[in-house]
Structure 1
Amino acid sequence: MATHTTEPATTDSSGTTSGGFLRARSILATRPLLGWRTVDILTIAFLGAALGIAFWGWGVFYNGPLSAITFGFAPLGGLFAGPWFLAGVVGGLVVRRPGAALFCEVTAALVSMIPGTEWGATTLVSGIVQGLGTELVFALLGYRAFGIAAAMLAGAMAGPFAAFYESFTWIQDWSFAWKVSYAAVLALSGAVVAGVGGWLLTRALAAAGALNAFPPGQEHRENRAV
């Protein structure tokens, strides 16, 4: 049974973390963590490609609502950036290995760039930067916590990373206050859309049986057995 204590997390022989304050029970990737399996690579590539197509579609739709909401206060445009952080969160939640979040986010950015976007090659650079922000959170958590709180933190961290990069490119003429506001709005969008949304998407995929070879699939089976 899951417990909620403030004791340091411990890992049993099955790779399950219990007792951690960030996530009472997370099933971890098989050890060693850097021992990527072929199924891990193929799944991240597939997820990244699928989300990359969605990214491209979102980019086509993006400018309409963006123009409406940013009238008078441009940093509010960050509210619509959360979907672009989704791939990193989902990749990290599914595979749970170092590099999974970054790999998935970069793959999605690359795929979304191929049909052509108004941002050109900077789309890929943005994907790398955002993926690094998401990856950092999973790394700081030791790749041991994968609940909704961890997902929200991972999605949120992509925001400041994106804002930092854009402060030298797209928003370099903004005031410092606007840049800070933009980073905060990006973090909020990332936490809600990419964090909560990515967690829900991962759970839905696990419930559909698409993640049986991964920890989320095992968590779903164990929850149903309780």
Structure 2
Amino acid sequence: MAAPTTTSTPAHTGRGGSILATRPLMGWRTVDILTIAFLGAALGIAFWGWGVFYNGPLSAISFAFPPMQGLLTGPWFIAGVVGGLVVRRPGAALFCEVVAALVSMIPGTEWGATVLVSGIVQGLGTELVFALLGYRAFGIAAAVLAGAMAGPFAAFYESFTWIADWSFGWKLAYAAFLAISGAVIAGAGGWLLTRALAAAGALNAFPPGQEQRESRAV
């Protein structure tokens, strides 16, 4: 995943001191595409692994109050947050989430092709937040909001599929639990993961890598 340090680094600064992607904003580099693909694939394997163990805790938490199962869904939102934080270009969050969903679907899951649809929907929710922020804010607050927004998007889709027979109150509660899980696990967790990758030198060609270097220089 490490990229060569000879690649040009961003110079523009956005809100909260976030370093932005090199301009033009839509000018995706080859390293951007490859890194999103690698990140998405790695997180997709993690998605699949979480799906294997998901049903155990799901049974316990659903016994208390079925909508609370939304608290276990946050891990599936993290790819969009990390992709957006790393590349910081339009479509990065959606791209990474879709790649992760596709990779997690390949070994086979009980949810079949709906995994890919969920990935698209969740990625759109995350992407929307970065877009509303003008792709100029990438701190922990932006990450938390992006992770949280994937929740209502996922709840809306599932209200016509997996939870179609639930009452409106349960669906609303489920959306709230999804948002909480997305904010904490995908948002804060994704921000911490991105910082860890930057500290390890894996993101030297990207804004988080430059932010890490500048923080060490102070």
Q: Assess same fold via TM > 0.5.
A: yes
In structure 2, the partner of 1:74 is 66
- 1:15 alignment partner AA: H
Is 1:15 the counterpart of 2:12? The answer is: yes
* Cα RMSD after superposing both structures: 0.8
- Give the alignment partner of residue 20 of structure 2, picking from 21, 28, 38: 28
Matches within 5 A, 1:27-46: 27-46=19-38
Note the C-alpha offset of 1:14: 2.2
Aligned to 1:211: 203
Find out whether 1:111 has 2:103 as its counterpart: yes
* 2:141 is aligned with 1:156: no
Q: Residue 186 of structure 1 corresponds to which residue in structure 2?
A: 178
| Alignment match of 1:170 (pick from 162, 167, 174) | 162
- The 5 A counterparts of 1:90-109 are 90-109=82-101
One-letter identity of the residue aligned with 1:218: Q
Which residue does the alignment assign to 2:135? 143
Q: Runs of 4 or more off by more than 2 Å in structure 1?
A: none
| Structure 2 counterpart SS, 1:70 | helix
1:87 aligns with 2:90: no
Superposed displacement of residue 16, structure 1: 1.1
Q: Which residue identity does 1:185 align to in structure 2?
A: F
In structure 1, stretches of 5+ residues that fail to align are: 1-12
Q: Report how many residues are paired.
A: 209
**How far did 1:73 drift?**
1.2
C-alpha distance in structure 2 between counterparts of 1:206 and 1:163, whole Å: 32
Equivalents in 2 of 1:208, 1:32: separation in Å?
A: 28
CA distance in 1 between partners of 2:98 and 2:121 (Å): 9
Gaps of 5+ in 2: 1-9
2:119 equivalent among 105, 118, 127: 127
Identity %: 86
* Inter-partner Cα distance in structure 2 for 1:156 and 1:32: 28
Matched residue type, 1:188: I
Name the SS for the 2:177 alignment partner: helix
d(CA) in 1 for partners of 2:11, 2:91: 22
Q: 2:64 and 2:140 mapped to 1: Cα distance?
A: 34
**Structure 1 length normalisation: TM-score?**
0.92
> 3-state SS of the aligned residue for 1:16?
coil
The aligned counterpart of 1:65 is 57
Offset at residue 72 of structure 1 (A): 3.6
Counterpart Cα distance in 2 of 1:177 and 1:225: 52
